[in-house]
Amino acid sequence: MNLELSEEQEAVRRLAEEFVAREVTPHVVAWDRAENVDRSIVKKLGALGFLGLTVPEEYGGSGGDHLAYCLVTEELGRGDSSVRGIVSVSLGLVAKTIASWGSEEQKRQWLPRLTSGEAIGCFGLTEPGTGSDAGNLATRAVRDGGDYVINGTKMFITNGTWADVVLLFARTNDAPGHRGVSAFLVPADTPGLTRRTIHGKLGLRGQATAELVLEDVRVPAATLLGPEGKGFTVAMSALAKGRMSVAAGCVGIAQAALDAAVRYAGEREQFGKGIAGHQLVQELLSDISVDVEAARLLTWRVADLIDRGQEFATAASQAKLYASEAAVRCANNALQVFGGYGYIDEYPVGKLLRDARVMTLYEGTSQIQKLIIGRALTGVSAF
Ligand code: FAD
pLDDT tens string 34-92: 999 999 999 999 999 999 999 999 999 998 899 999 999 999 999 999 999 999 999 99
Tell me the pTM: 0.97
pLDDT in tens, 235-268: 999 999 999 999 999 999 999 999 999 999 999 9
What pLDDT is recorded for position 152? 98
Domain range summary for the chain, segments of one domain joined by +: 5-119, 121-228, 230-376
What CATH number does the domain located at 121-228 have? 2.40.110.10
What is the spatial distance between Cα 367 and Cα 325, in angstroms, rounded to a whole number?
Answer: 11
Please tell me the residue having the least CA distance from ligand 1 atom 50: 131
What is the spatial distance between Cα 116 and Cα 156, in angstroms, rounded to a whole number?
Answer: 25
For residue 178, is pLDDT > 70? no
CATH topology of domain 5-119: Butyryl-Coa Dehydrogenase, subunit A; domain 1 (1.10.540)
Ligand 1 close to Cβ of residue 362 (< 6 A): yes
The torsion of the CA quartet 106, 210, 35, 42, rounded to 10 degrees, works out to: 0
Average pLDDT across the chain, whole number: 96
The predicted model gives 159-178 an average pLDDT of 88
What is the spatial distance between Cα 245 and Cα 81, in angstroms, rounded to a whole number?
Answer: 11
For residue 356, is pLDDT > 90? yes
Lowest mean pLDDT among 122-136, 175-189, 273-287, 353-367: 175-189
168's CB contacts (< 8 A; 6+ apart) are 124, 139, 150, 154, 183, 184, 185, 186, 214
**Which is the closest atom of ligand 1 to the Cα of 89?**
28
Please tell me the residue having the least CA distance from ligand 1 atom 27: 157
Q: Which amino acid is at 127?
A: E
User: How many CB atoms lie under 10 A from the CB of residue 251?
Assistant: 31
What is the spatial distance between Cα 345 and Cα 327, in angstroms, rounded to a whole number?
Answer: 18
What pLDDT is recorded for position 368? 98
Ligand 1 close to Cβ of residue 246 (< 6 A): no
The predicted model gives 224-229 an average pLDDT of 96
CA distance between the termini of the chain: 33
The predicted model gives 7-29 an average pLDDT of 97
For residue 137, is pLDDT > 80? yes
* d(CA 63, ligand 1 centre) in Å: 32
What pLDDT is recorded for position 157? 98
369's CB contacts (< 8 A; 6+ apart) are 243, 317, 318, 320, 321
What is the spatial distance between Cα 44 and Cα 40, in angstroms, rounded to a whole number?
Answer: 7
For residue 176, is pLDDT > 70? no
The torsion of the CA quartet 262, 267, 273, 276, rounded to 10 degrees, works out to: 0
What is the spatial distance between Cα 259 and Cα 238, in angstroms, rounded to a whole number?
Answer: 32
**∠ CA 282-246-228, rounded to 5°:** 165
What pLDDT is recorded for position 145? 95
* d(CA 131, ligand 1 centre) in Å: 4
pLDDT band at 198 (very low <50, low <70, confident <90, very high): very high
Please confirm, yes or no, whether 311 is among the known catalytic residues.
no
Query: How would you classify the pairing of strands 181-187 and 224-225?
Result: antiparallel
The predicted model gives 325-348 an average pLDDT of 97
For residue 174, is pLDDT > 90? no
**Which is the closest atom of ligand 1 to the Cα of 160?**
28
pLDDT band at 373 (very low <50, low <70, confident <90, very high): very high
Ligand 1 close to Cβ of residue 169 (< 6 A): no
**Which is the closest atom of ligand 1 to the Cα of 368?**
11
The predicted model gives 261-276 an average pLDDT of 98
For residue 177, is pLDDT > 90? no
The predicted model gives 31-36 an average pLDDT of 96
Ligand 1 close to Cβ of residue 93 (< 6 A): no
- In percent, the amount of the chain with pLDDT more than 70 equals 99
What CATH number does the domain located at 230-376 have? 1.20.140.10
